[in-house]
C-alpha cells in the first residue's frame, strides 16, 4: 500500500478526478489548501496600497492505493494535472503500514 | 368607447347650454353623465368668479404641494438608504472580516442615535432662527414642526417633511467619519463622540450654511453668502476633516502599515457604492426641496459627475498600476458624487463632468500618494474622499455656478445676478473660500476638543488584545461570518 499526497492547480481537479476514476481508484480525500513552491505569488493593489499574495489556492488530494494501482495512478495524475507552467504542483509517495476499515475492522488492502 | 360617447355628449350639452335659448330635451338629460348634467344645471347658482378662481388657486397649490411632498419623502428615504445599507456595506467591505459587523454597526447606531437627538434638539439648533452661528431652541422637542410649511426653507412641503429630510443628512455626516477610525475605536467612545460632534460641529455648520440668519447662508440673510446646494461644506468637509483629526489623534491600527490589511470583500463595497450612487439622487436632487426643473438639473449634474469621477480615478490607476481596479472605479464614483454635492443645483451637465473628473484625479492622488507619504492611518480614506472631494467641490462651485441653472442672487428689481466666477461674479470664489475655511476650522477645533474629552472620560481605543481579536467579538459578541455552522 502506498499513500499518494498530490497538490495540484484547482483548475485541473476535475480532470484529475476523472482520470483516476477511469483507472479504477475508488476513494480519495480532497481539501482546499493554500501554499507555494517555487511559484511566486501575485500583487494586489487597493487604493494605491500594494499587497503581495504569496500563498496561492491549491487542491490537495490524499489517497491510499493498493500497490498494483500506484503506477497507473501517478501516470494519470501527471497527464491530467500538467499545464506545463510553474505552479502545477507535486506528487508525494510514501509507504503505508496498515489500513483499517472502521465499520467492520477489515485490514490491509481489503480495507481500501 | 364608452368614454368617447359620453365625452361627445358632454360637448353636445355644453354647446346646447352655450346657445342658451335651446331647451334641453328630457331624454337627452338622462343620457348625460352625472357631472355634466349637474354642472349645467348648477350653473346659474355657481359662486362668483373671484371665489372660483381662489378655490382653483388653492387646488393648484395643493396639487403642487402633493407633488413636491411625494418627491421629498422619497428623497428622504433615499438619503437614509445611503447610510444603511449603502455606507455600511461600502465601509463594511473595506475592513478585515473580524471587524465587518462593528463597522456596519457604527453606521446603524448613528441612524438610531442622531434621530433621537434630532427630535429633541438637533433640528432646532440647525433650523430655528438664532444667531449667526447656531439656531435657537424654539423647535425643542419638534414643537411647532407640523404640517404647515416654513416658507423661508420650503414653501410647498410640510415643515415636518423638511425636518425629516434634513435629519437624514445629520445621520450620514457623522457616519462618514467612522471610516477614519475603523477597526480600533471603542463602540461606547464612538457613540459619545458622535453625540457631542453632532452638537458641536454639525449643528452649528448646518445652521451657518442653511439656517435662517446663518453666517454663510446665501439667501436668508447671511453675511458671507456661500453656495452649498446639498452639503459640500456642511456634510463632506466637516466629516472628512474631522475624520483626519480622528485618524491622527487615535493613531495607527496595530501593525499598520507593515501588516497587510486588504479589504475583506470588495463585493460588499461594490453593492454599497452603487446604493450610494442611487441614494445621492435623493441627497442632491432632493435638496431642490421641490419636484421641479431644478431637481432635474441637480439629478443630471449628480449623475454626470459620478461617471466622470469614476473615469478620472480609473484612468489614473490604469496608467499608474497597469490595471483599472473595481475598488478604484467605485471610489472614483463616490468622489465624483461628493464633489458635485455643493454644486449640483448651480451647474450644468458639462460643468458637472469637469468637476467629477477633477475630483477623480485629485482624490486618487490624495489617497494613493499623499496618505502614504504622510503615513497617517485614515483606514477607509474618509478624508481623502470626503475632505478632499468636498473641498474641491465647494471651491469649484464658486467657479462654475451659473444663473442659467439657478438664479439665486437677484437685485432689488428681481433681475438675476451673476452667481459664480464664470458667470461674472469673481467674489463668489472668495466667499466659497471663507465657507471652506470656516468648515475646516470648526471641524478641527471641535473634533479635537471632543476627542480630548471622550479620551479622558472613557478612553477612545480598544485594548490591544481586543483589536487583535477584532471588534465584532470584542465589542458586540458576534461574528459576521459563521460559515462553518
pLDDT-derived band at B51, boundaries 50, 70, 90: very high
B175 CA to chain A: closest CA distance, Å? 21
Chain A residues with CB inside 8 Å of B331's CB?
47
B325 at interface of A, judged by CB pairs closer than 8 A:
yes
Instruction: Write out pLDDT tens, residues B75-121.
Output: 999 999 999 999 999 999 999 999 999 999 999 999 999 999 999 99
pLDDT-derived band at B4, boundaries 50, 70, 90: low
What is this structure's pTM?
A: 0.85
Beta carbons of A47 and B367 less than 8 Å apart: yes
- Whole-number pLDDT of residue B72: 98
Chain B residues with CB inside 8 Å of A41's CB?
none
Chain B residues with CB inside 8 Å of A51's CB?
260, 262
B369 at interface of A, judged by CB pairs closer than 8 A:
yes
B272 CA to chain A: closest CA distance, Å? 17
**Are residues B52 and B46 in contact, defined by beta-carbon separation less than 8 angstroms?**
yes
> A57-61, B20-24, B168-172, B307-311: which has the minimum mean pLDDT?
B20-24
| Cβ neighbours, 10 Å, residue B471 | 26
Instruction: Write out pLDDT tens, residues B469-484.
Output: 999 999 999 999 987 7
| All domains of chain B in start order, with CATH | 83-117+168-476 (1.10.3430.10)
Peptide bond into B85 cis (omega under 30): yes
CA-based nearest residue in chain A for residue B329: A47
- Whole-number pLDDT of residue B44: 60
Chain A residues with CB inside 8 Å of B381's CB?
47
List per-residue pLDDT tens for chain A, 112 residues long: 999 999 999 999 999 999 999 999 989 999 999 988 877 778 889 988 888 888 889 999 999 999 999 999 999 999 999 998 888 999 999 999 999 999 999 999 898 8
pLDDT-derived band at B16, boundaries 50, 70, 90: very low
Chain A residues with CB inside 8 Å of B364's CB?
48
> B41-55, B220-234, B440-454, B459-473: which has the minimum mean pLDDT?
B41-55
Does residue B47 carry a pLDDT above 80? yes
> Pick from B321, B369, B372: which is nearest to A45 by CB?
B321
- Whole-number pLDDT of residue B25: 42
B240 CA to chain A: closest CA distance, Å? 17
Pairing label, strands A89-95, A56-65: unpaired
Does residue B56 carry a pLDDT above 70? yes
Separation between Cα atoms, residue B35 and residue B25, nearest integer Å:
17
**Are residues B387 and B236 in contact, defined by beta-carbon separation less than 8 angstroms?**
yes
Beta carbons of B262 and A44 less than 8 Å apart: yes
Does residue B226 carry a pLDDT above 70? yes
Q: What value does the mean pLDDT of chain B take? A: 92
- Whole-number pLDDT of residue B262: 94
CATH for A2-111, options being 3.30.70.120, 3.90.470.20, 1.10.10.10, 3.90.660.20:
3.30.70.120
Beta carbons of B369 and A48 less than 8 Å apart: yes
**Are residues A41 and A54 in contact, defined by beta-carbon separation less than 8 angstroms?**
yes
Written as one string, the DSSP assignment of A13-61 is HHHHHHHHHHTT----EEEEEEE-SS---EEEEETTEEEEE-SEEEEEE
Q: Which three cell numbers mark B477? A: 459578541
Instruction: Write out pLDDT tens, residues B187-221.
Output: 999 999 999 999 999 999 999 999 999 999 999 98
Beta carbons of A47 and B372 less than 8 Å apart: no
- Whole-number pLDDT of residue A86: 87
Separation between Cα atoms, residue B133 and residue B53, nearest integer Å:
44
- Whole-number pLDDT of residue A52: 85
Chain A residues with CB inside 8 Å of B321's CB?
45
pLDDT-derived band at B33, boundaries 50, 70, 90: very low
Amino acid at each position: 500500500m502506498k499513500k499518494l499526497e498530490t497538490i495540484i492547480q484547482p483548475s485541473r481537479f476535475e480532470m484529475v478526478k476523472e482520470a483516476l476514476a477511469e483507472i479504477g481508484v475508488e476513494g480519495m480525500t480532497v481539501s482546499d489548501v493554500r501554499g507555494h513552491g517555487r511559484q511566486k505569488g501575485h500583487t494586489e493593489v487597493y487604493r494605491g496600497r500594494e499587497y503581495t499574495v504569496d500563498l496561492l489556492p491549491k487542491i490537495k488530494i490524499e489517497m491510499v492505493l493498493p500497490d498494483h494501482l500506484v503506477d497507473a495512478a501517478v501516470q494519470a495524475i501527471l497527464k491530467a494535472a500538467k499545464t506545463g507552467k510553474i505552479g502545477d504542483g507535486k506528487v508525494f509517495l510514501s509507504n503505508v503500514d496498515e489500513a483499517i476499515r472502521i465499520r467492520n475492522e477489515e485490514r490491509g488492502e481489503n480495507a481500501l | 368607447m364608452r368614454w368617447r360617447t359620453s365625452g361627445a355628449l358632454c360637448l353636445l350639452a355644453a354647446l346646447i347650454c352655450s346657445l342658451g335659448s335651446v331647451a334641453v330635451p328630457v331624454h337627452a338629460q338622462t343620457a348625460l353623465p352625472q357631472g355634466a348634467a349637474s354642472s349645467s344645471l348648477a350653473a346659474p347658482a355657481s359662486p362668483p368668479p373671484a371665489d372660483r378662481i381662489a378655490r382653483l388657486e388653492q387646488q393648484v397649490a395643493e396639487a403642487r404641494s402633493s407633488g413636491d411632498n411625494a418627491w421629498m419623502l422619497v428623497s428622504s428615504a433615499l438619503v437614509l438608504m445611503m447610510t444603511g445599507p449603502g455606507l455600511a456595506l461600502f465601509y463594511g467591505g473595506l475592513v478585515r472580516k473580524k471587524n465587518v459587523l462593528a463597522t456596519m454597526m457604527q453606521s446603524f447606531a448613528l441612524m438610531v442615535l442622531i434621530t433621537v437627538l434630532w427630535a429633541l434638539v438637533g433640528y432646532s439648533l440647525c433650523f430655528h432662527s438664532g444667531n449667526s452661528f447656531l439656531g435657537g431652541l424654539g423647535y425643542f422637542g419638534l414643537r411647532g414642526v407640523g404640517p404647515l410649511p416654513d416658507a423661508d426653507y420650503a414653501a410647498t412641503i410640510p415643515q415636518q417633511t423638511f425636518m425629516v429630510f434634513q435629519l437624514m443628512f445629520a445621520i450620514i455626516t457623522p457616519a462618514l467619519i467612522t471610516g477614519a477610525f475603523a477597526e480600533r475605536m471603542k463602540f461606547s467612545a464612538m457613540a459619545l463622540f458622535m453625540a457631542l460632534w453632532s452638537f458641536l460641529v454639525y449643528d452649528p455648520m448646518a445652521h451657518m450654511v442653511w439656517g435662517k440668519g446663518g453666517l454663510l447662508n446665501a439667501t436668508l440673510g447671511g453675511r458671507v453668502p456661500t453656495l452649498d446646494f446639498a452639503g459640500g461644506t456642511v456634510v463632506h468637509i466637516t466629516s472628512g476633516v474631522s475624520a483626519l483629526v480622528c485618524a491622527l489623534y487615535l493613531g495607527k491600527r496595530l501593525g499598520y502599515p507593515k501588516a497587510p490589511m486588504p479589504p475583506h470583500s470588495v463585493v460588499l463595497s461594490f453593492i454599497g457604492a452603487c446604493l450610494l450612487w442611487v441614494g445621492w439622487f435623493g441627497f442632491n436632487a432632493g435638496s431642490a426641496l421641490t419636484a421641479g426643473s431644478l431637481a432635474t438639473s441637480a439629478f443630471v449634474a449628480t449623475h454626470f459627475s459620478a461617471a466622470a469621477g469614476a473615469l478620472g480615478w480609473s484612468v489614473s490607476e490604469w496608467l499608474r498600476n497597469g490595471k483599472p481596479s473595481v475598488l478604484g472605479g467605485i471610489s472614483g464614483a463616490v468622489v465624483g458624487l461628493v464633489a458635485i454635492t455643493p454644486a449640483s443645483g448651480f451647474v450644468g451637465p458639462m460643468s458637472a463632468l469637469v468637476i467629477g473628473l477633477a475630483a477623480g484625479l485629485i482624490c486618487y492622488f490624495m489617497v494613493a500618494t499623499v496618505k502614504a507619504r504622510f503615513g497617517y492611518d485614515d483606514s477607509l480614506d474618509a478624508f481623502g474622499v470626503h475632505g478632499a472631494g468636498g473641498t474641491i467641490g465647494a471651491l469649484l462651485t464658486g467657479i462654475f455656478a451659473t444663473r442659467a441653472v439657478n438664479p439665486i442672487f437677484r437685485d432689488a428689481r428681481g433681475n438675476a445676478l451673476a452667481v459664480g466666477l464664470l458667470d461674472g461674479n469673481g467674489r463668489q470664489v472668495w466667499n466659497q473660500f471663507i465657507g471652506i475655511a470656516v468648515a475646516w476650522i470648526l471641524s478641527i477645533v471641535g473634533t479635537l476638543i471632543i476627542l480630548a474629552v471622550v479620551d479622558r472620560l472613557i478612553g477612545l481605543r480598544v485594548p490591544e488584545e481586543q483589536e487583535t481579536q477584532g471588534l465584532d467579538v470584542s465589542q458586540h459578541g458576534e461574528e459576521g461570518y459563521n460559515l462553518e455552522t
